[in-house]
Amino acid sequence: MKPAGKRLDALDALGNEYRRQIVELLARKPRSVQEIADRLPISRPAVSRHLRVLNGAGLVTDEQVGTRRLYRLERGYLTQLWGDVATRFKLFAENTRRR
């Protein structure tokens, strides 16, 4: 499921509550669309649409395993993002503390 055209912004993709819940589910283990739909109050087609957005943003990947397609969290981007945030926060804190 690689989208054509421009890559979506990961933070924009996480702006939706259901997509955040999907990311949380995938953080625990890879899952199929049906497994995700079974845990959320939305339909399989809706889960597929959300996964397409997350995939386009580089937050999830998918692979064919037997007859099922499993989705997994792409941790590299999140690790980089939060590492950058932590570094920036540290620099901000060091440069704004009272002397």
pLDDT of residue 8: 67
Q: Do 66 and 38 meet the contact criterion of CB atoms below 8 Å apart?
A: no
Whole-number Å distance between alpha carbons of 38 and 86: 35
Q: For the segment 40-84, what is each residue's pLDDT rounded down to a tens digit?
A: 999 999 999 999 999 999 999 999 999 999 999 997 777 776 776
Q: How confident is the model at residue 99 (pLDDT cuts 50, 70, 90)?
A: low
Tell me which DSSP letter residue 70 carries: E
Q: H or E segment at 26?
A: helix 17-28
Whole-number Å distance between alpha carbons of 4 and 11: 19
Q: Do 34 and 44 meet the contact criterion of CB atoms below 8 Å apart?
A: yes
Overall average pLDDT of the 23-51 stretch: 97
> Which sequence spans correspond to the domains of the chain?
10-74
* CATH architecture of residue range(s) 10-74: Orthogonal Bundle (1.10)
Overall average pLDDT of the 25-33 stretch: 95
pTM for this model (two decimals) = 0.74
77 vs 2, more confident:
77
